[in-house]
């Protein structure tokens, strides 16, 4: 007979979820066992899983988790294999040049995560030199100290490589849990964030937390898809309230949309008389967006004179970054002699080098406006 602690009534699951349709009872141990049994028998063979089985080296899992951020598995697999050929271990990665790193991850996008991965490799190698016998972080909390490893990635690595009981929540898990518990709310509803985290921590398998997390994710990717879930073949259909009530299409509800914020801003492009252009390294707290990227300097709208003498306007462009709608005026000119840019390390680049040094579509759009402005003024002056 199952002990009462293995049962959760709906009220126990979380009173905060008002969208649930009816009280339910739920056997946690049966649930986690179904998932892990299924995973141990039918999990897809993926390179990082096979490497973990054969080598038990956290490096392989860490690299895979970084690559899988916002990137589909089928895109990651060939790049992952190429990356490990080029950087087979953490020492090789720590000694990589920026050019090598960029080439190894070409096509995956979001380059910042790999710059941080490289910093993480340097951090690990340094620790190894400092503390003899230390090889890898020994807990989720320790993984959180590694540059580029946030709450989600640390939980994934710690559950897989250290069998630590940390639940994982991503879009797939939110969708599966919404359907399992028939939660008819948008998954980004403010009431649900903490609730999903608590559920993930309470439902996790105590015997195989890593397999559990991966299996829940895999159910979301393979069966519990956004449209047309494959419920008949799903390994957890007997637990699924939405399936049993034939309301999978109602769980979760479409996401709440964040209101767009309109922002007017000026971009200033300092240039020398020889035609070189200043490109800045934007720091972490640069603005609500574009942090830690290389590109042009932004100043409050209309304040181009604070940086440039005799600024020339190259027109206006529009660009959207997450929920910010930007209207941008593009200005160039010589740097004012009184203007120093101490917070933004910058380099003077020849014009033909600029495009390849820009890291965002925002800056490329600005550069296009700048170049077209130059072209138009050259035409009008006949030069
Ligand atoms: S039974 Fe259907 S809706 Fe429920 S978790 Fe499985 S695939 Fe998703």
Domain boundaries, the chain: 4-250, 261-381
Gap from CA of 224 to ligand 1 centroid (Å): 5
Third-level CATH fold of 4-250: Endonuclease III; domain 1 (1.10.340)
Is residue 165 a contact partner of residue 206, using CB atoms and an 8 Å limit? yes
Task: Return the pLDDT at 376.
Answer: 63
* Any atom of ligand 1 within 6 Å of the Cβ of 236: yes
Phi-psi region of 178 (alpha: psi -120 to 50; beta: other; left: phi over 0): alpha
What DSSP letter does each residue of 162-219 carry, written as one string?
A: S--------HHHHHHHHHHTTB-SBTT-TTHHHHHHHHHHHHS-SS-HHHHHHHHHHH
- Ligand 1 atom with the smallest distance to the CA of 231 is 2
- Ligand 1 atom with the smallest distance to the CA of 235 is 6
Of 323, 333, 322, the residue nearest 266 (C-alpha): 333
The rounded distance, in Å, linking the Cα atoms of 177 and 251 is 9
Is residue 282 a contact partner of residue 295, using CB atoms and an 8 Å limit? yes
Per-residue pLDDT tens over the stretch 329-376: 999 999 887 766 656 788 899 999 999 888 888 999 999 999 887 766
Same topology, domains 4-250 and 261-381? Answer is: no
* Any atom of ligand 1 within 6 Å of the Cβ of 251: no
* Any atom of ligand 1 within 6 Å of the Cβ of 202: no
Task: Return the pLDDT at 359.
Answer: 84
| Options 41, 65, 303, 316, the catalytic residue | 65
Q: Whose CA is nearest to atom 2 of ligand 1?
A: 231
| Residue that has been written with the tokens 């299409």 in this structure | 249
Gap from CA of 337 to ligand 1 centroid (Å): 65
Q: Has domain 261-381 been given CATH number 3.90.79.10?
A: yes
Task: Return the pLDDT at 12.
Answer: 46
Task: Return the pLDDT at 2.
Answer: 32
Is residue 233 a contact partner of residue 223, using CB atoms and an 8 Å limit? yes
Is residue 189 a contact partner of residue 179, using CB atoms and an 8 Å limit? no
Gap from CA of 342 to ligand 1 centroid (Å): 55
* Any atom of ligand 1 within 6 Å of the Cβ of 214: no
**Other residues' Cβ atoms within 10 Å of the Cβ of residue 45:** 7
Residue numbers of the chain with a pLDDT score lower than 70: 1-25, 284-286, 339-343, 375-383
Task: Return the pLDDT at 16.
Answer: 44
Put simply, whether the predicted model's pTM sits higher than 0.85 gets the answer no
| 218 given a catalytic annotation | no
- Residue 77, Cβ density class (10 Å: 0-12 exposed, 13-18 middle, ≥19 buried): middle
- Ligand 1 atom with the smallest distance to the CA of 234 is 6
């Amino acid at each position: 007979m199952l002990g009462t602690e293995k049962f959760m009534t709906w009220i126990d699951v979380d009173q905060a979820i008002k969208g649930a349709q009816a009280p339910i009872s739920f056997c946690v141990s049966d649930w986690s066992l179904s998932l892990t049994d299924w995973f141990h028998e039918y999990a897809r063979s993926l390179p990082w899983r096979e490497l973990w089985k054969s080598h038990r080296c956290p490096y392989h899992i860490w690299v895979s988790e970084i690559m899988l951020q916002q990137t589909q598995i089928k895109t990651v697999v060939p790049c992952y294999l190429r990356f490990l050929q080029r950087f087979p271990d953490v020492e090789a990665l720590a000694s990589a040049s920026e050019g090598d790193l960029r080439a190894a991850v070409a096509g995956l996008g979001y380059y910042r995560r790999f710059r941080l991965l490289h910093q993480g490799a340097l951090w690990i190698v340094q620790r190894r030199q400092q503390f003899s016998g230390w090889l890898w972080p020994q807990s989720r909390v320790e993984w959180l100290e590694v540059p580029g490893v946030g709450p989600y990635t640390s939980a994934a690595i710690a559950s897989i490589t250290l069998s630590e009981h940390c639940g994982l929540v991503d879009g797939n898990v939110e969708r599966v849990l919404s359907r399992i518990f028939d939660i008819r709310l948008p998954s980004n509803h403010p009431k649900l964030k903490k609730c999903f985290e608590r559920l993930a921590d309470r439902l996790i398998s105590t015997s195989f937390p890593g397999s559990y997390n991966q299996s829940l994710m895999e159910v979301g990717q393979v069966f519990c898809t956004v449209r047309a879930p494959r419920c008949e073949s799903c390994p957890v259909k007997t637990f699924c309230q939405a399936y049993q009530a034939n309301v999978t299409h109602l769980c979760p509800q479409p996401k709440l949309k964040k209101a767009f914020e309109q922002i007017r801003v000026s971009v200033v492009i300092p240039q020398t008389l020889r035609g070189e252009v200043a490109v800045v390294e934007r720091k972490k707290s640069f603005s609500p967006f574009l942090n830690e990227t290389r590109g042009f300097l932004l100043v409050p709208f209309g304040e181009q004179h604070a940086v440039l003498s005799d600024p020339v306007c190259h027109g206006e462009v529009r660009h959207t970054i997450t929920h910010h709608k930007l209207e941008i005026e593009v200005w160039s000119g010589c740097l004012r002699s009184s203007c120093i840019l101490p917070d933004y390390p910058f380099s003077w680049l020849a014009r033909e080098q600029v495009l390849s040094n820009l890291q965002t579509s925002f800056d490329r759009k600005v550069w296009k406006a700048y170049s077209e402005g130059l072209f138009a003024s050259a035409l009008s002056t006949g030069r």
